[in-house]
Amino acid sequence: MRGVVIVKRSDDDSQERERTQARERDSYKSPETDLESLFEQSESDGPETVTDGGVSPRQSLFETTSDIERTRTDRYRRLFDEYVMAPGRILWNDWRAKFGFLLSSMFVIIGLISWISTSRWWILSDVTIVQQTYADDGEVLVGPFDSAHMTDFYGIPIWEHPLGTDAMGRDVFNQLVHATPAMLEMMFAGAVFSIVLATFWGVFSGYKGGSVDGTMMAIADIVMTIPGLPLVVVLAAIIEPSSAWLIGIILVVNAWAGFARSLRSEVLKLRQESYVEASRTIGISMPAIVTKDVLPNVMPLIVVNFVTTARNVIMASVGLYFLGLLPHTGLNWGVMMNSAYGQGGIYMSDMFHWFYAPMVTIVLLSLGLLLLGQGLDRIFNPRIRARHSESTTDEGSTDESTDDVSTADRHQQGGL
């Protein structure tokens, strides 16, 4: 009798186990089924954010939602701090950038003074800050800071000719002031033309690669082999430019090729970086990749070469004007040096100011651009700019404090 009961209980246990296994098989779903249901649910119900910062099944796997909400004012304040205040702090903390900025700004102000003094606009037509100088306006070869030639300016005695006069009685200081706008125009036009063309050529060639890269670099190599000075002289003789903007472009007509090749080599290295390949993989367009991933990393190189090209334009223009190889229709520092040299300005002591005043002016402008280029290299460096940004520093300090607290907690837990 007991044996029968035991057999009956074992039958009941086996049936119970079978029913449990059947329920488990019914409730089991494969990982593929779970993933399909996750995507179907996310597409049908839309994204949903959970409180722990993770992604719920209703949110796309490729989208994340930040736990910190920023207002539009906060975003504008952060952009202003990153792109305006941070460069200002870098400029103020670097003496080279500060000094170069002041020197370059001084020449820009001098150019504005000359433009205002010669402007024919109805508002500015009667405003004259520095008068234009002509022959026989003053005594011949007056020395600089000569106390015998003083005048009153609202009751304050000042020099009538601070830097003296030349052999025709023209004020040297006035000539320097009114020659500045043309020099700035040549400098700006040449630098912009060369850098824009070189940046487009080098970045596009390096990013595209293949036959496009080979063809564009072959053209750049051909341009590099053309002698620069004979080409400029021939073009100046054929075109006979009278505009300072056009002269600036002629001076750098083939100077862009060398920088384009250097920039192309940098882009070839950048296009192999993981973040650039990731952008290409997920289908971001080429203009977006170039503007957001490539150009910010080569911007310090571009800025430094912009300033270097501007300095080269100054030196080339002054040298060619001094040699008489460029046509001139107005005042120019090179023409002033040529006139002084022709009159024996480097030999006669009473003419030193006529020859060396424009030379010192050229040196100061070149020095200002050189120091400014070194400062702009730091300003356009993303790491240095982020280090001087208050918003980034605040976030970094918060993270560091959190890390310190967590580290201290771990040490305490380990000690306990």
pLDDT digits (tens, 9 = 90+) for 190-234: 999 999 999 999 999 999 988 999 999 999 999 999 998 899 999
Is residue 164's pLDDT more than 50? yes
pLDDT digits (tens, 9 = 90+) for 17-69: 777 666 666 554 444 444 455 445 544 444 444 433 344 444 444 455 556 66
Is residue 396's pLDDT more than 80? no
For residue 259, being part of any structural domain is answered with yes
For residue 355, being part of any structural domain is answered with yes
What is the rounded average pLDDT of the residues 367-384? 83
Structure tokens at 370: 């050189």
For residue 318, being part of any structural domain is answered with yes
Cα dihedral 106/108/111/113 (nearest 10) = -60
For residue 398, being part of any structural domain is answered with no
Q: Domain range for residue 346?
A: 97-119+171-392
For residue 268, give every residue at least 6 positions away whose Cβ sits within 8 Å of its Cβ, in sequence order, or none. Answer: 206, 209
Q: Any bridge partners for residue 153, and if so which?
A: 156
Total count of residues recorded for the chain: 416
pTM beyond 0.95: no
Domain count of the fold of the chain:
1
Q: Specify the amino acid at residue 65.
A: T
Find the CATH number of the domain harbouring 218.
1.10.3720.10
Share of the chain above pLDDT 70, in %: 76
